[in-house]
Amino acid sequence: MAESHASRRDALRAQIREQGLDGLLVLDLLNVRYLSGFTGSNAAMLVVADQDAGGVDVFCTDGRYTTQARRQVPDLRHVIERASGPAVAAEARGRVGFESQHVSVDGLDVLIAASPGELVRAPGLVERLRLVKDEAEVEALRMACAAADRALADLVEHGGLRVGRTEREVGRELESRMLDHGADAPSFTSIVAAGANSAIPHHRPTDAVLRAGDLVKLDFGAVIDGYHSDMTRTLVLGAPADWQRELYDLVALAQSAGRGALAPGARVADVDAAARGVIERAGRGEQFPHGLGHGVGLQIHEAPSLAKTGGGTLAAGMAVTVEPGVYLPGRGGVRIEDTLVVRDAGPELLTLTTKQLMVV
């Protein structure tokens, strides 16, 4: 992974030079992790534009992490200081950018006081690189998706989804099984929504009891090496009613259309429209109230946004979700979600659990 981190810093250097800067103060912990591999709770970096001119990248953390930093970040010059942002600002020379979206007004005053250079707002440079995943990142996403797939398979196989259990009990077991399959943590608090609760897009598990005939919506994911998976499957407890099967088939058709629209160069709004149009033509457009999907990676929700209001186009290597849903208040709802990677030859599906309606 050290080679991956070095190549990411080199890619960032090109952006720094394009901005006419001599360096960039990297202050967001996730961006520091992306560029260095460091996983502690306090760190900052200075990435210089031109190493050939004698510039040196600097990594800073505090004394709690001295040993960890030597192990995880062996290829950078280290500074050990509690106030990591000002410490790397003190190393800045010339015209240096900083991640203004991650700095408070008071924090900026501290950086300016510490730096001998000129500090310039330079938001989003690392996030722009993070849009396109390298193969090391995709492999971490594959592993995270596999842990979630296996956890759901175990849950179903061992009777974890059954009449009489509560949403909370199901959620806790699902998260425990993800840990059993190698997850470092759940991606977020798992959504378990049964019966009428399945019509609430982001319902949190309660003591509601699963009942025969319920739709059960499960939205969950696993974190491995910092990378998040995201998957939603909707099941039914017992034989589905006609309206449940019709609703499920509609969402499945829309989800297939959304997946099929993923391609390098596709406008994100057009990908949303491909799935949304299926639901609108069925007269259910108002019952699909959210965007089609989002990027995933070191954060569970990151760019790009697949939505009507989304801007920009897709590129090969972007990791996104496709998750249309239709929700009937007081009755139930269906959402089907996958994590995929945009590829030149067609999207790579990472969440492999069947999308056929599961009856348990």
CATH number of the domain that residue 319 is part of: 3.90.230.10
pLDDT attached to residue 3: 81
Domain that holds residue 80: 2-129
Same domain, 108 and 70: yes
What does the alpha-carbon distance between residue 167 and residue 160 come to, in Å, rounded to a whole number? 11
125 and 139 together in one domain: no
CA 315 to chain centre: 16
| Pair 90, 49 in one domain | yes
Please tell me the predicted confidence (pLDDT) of residue 51. Answer: 82
State whether 119 and 141 are in the same domain: no
Task: Verify that 49 and 89 share a domain, yes or no.
Answer: yes
The DSSP output letter for 352 is -
pLDDT in tens, 297-350: 999 999 999 999 999 999 999 999 999 999 999 999 999 999 999 999 999 999
pLDDT tens digits, residue range 138-175?
999 999 999 999 999 999 999 999 999 999 999 999 99
pLDDT of 130 reads: 98
Q: Are 48 and 71 in contact (CB under 8 A)?
A: no
pLDDT of residue 33: 98
For strands 215-220 and 231-236, give the pairing: antiparallel
The last residue of one of the domains, among 111, 129, 147, is: 129
In the chain the beta strands, taken as DSSP E runs, fall at: 23-26, 44-48, 58-61, 77-80, 95-98, 118-121, 185-186, 191-194, 215-220, 222-224, 227-228, 231-236, 293-295, 302-306, 319-322, 325-328, 332-335, 338-341, 348-349, 358-359
Residue 168 pLDDT? 98
Based on the domain organization, do 243 and 102 belong to the same domain?
A: no
267 and 155 belong to one structural domain: yes
181 with 255, same domain: the answer is yes
Q: How many domains does the chain have?
A: 2
> Are 112 and 204 contained in the same domain?
no
Where does residue 122 rank: exposed (0-12), middle (13-18), buried (19+ CB within 10 A)?
buried
What is the maximal distance between C-alpha atoms in the chain?
Answer: 71
Residue ranges of the chain whose pLDDT lies below 50: none
- Which of 129, 149, 183 lies at the terminal end of a domain, its last residue? 129
On whether both 84 and 33 belong to a single domain, the answer is: yes
Q: Is the peptide bond before 304 cis (omega within 30 degrees of 0)?
A: yes
CATH number for 100: 3.40.350.10
> What's the confidence (pLDDT) of residue 103?
96
Do residues 237 and 139 both lie within one domain?
yes
| Same domain for 165 and 306 | yes
d(CA 203, CA 147): 23
- Looking at residue 333, its pLDDT comes to 98
Q: Which residue among 67, 101, 129 closes a domain? A: 129
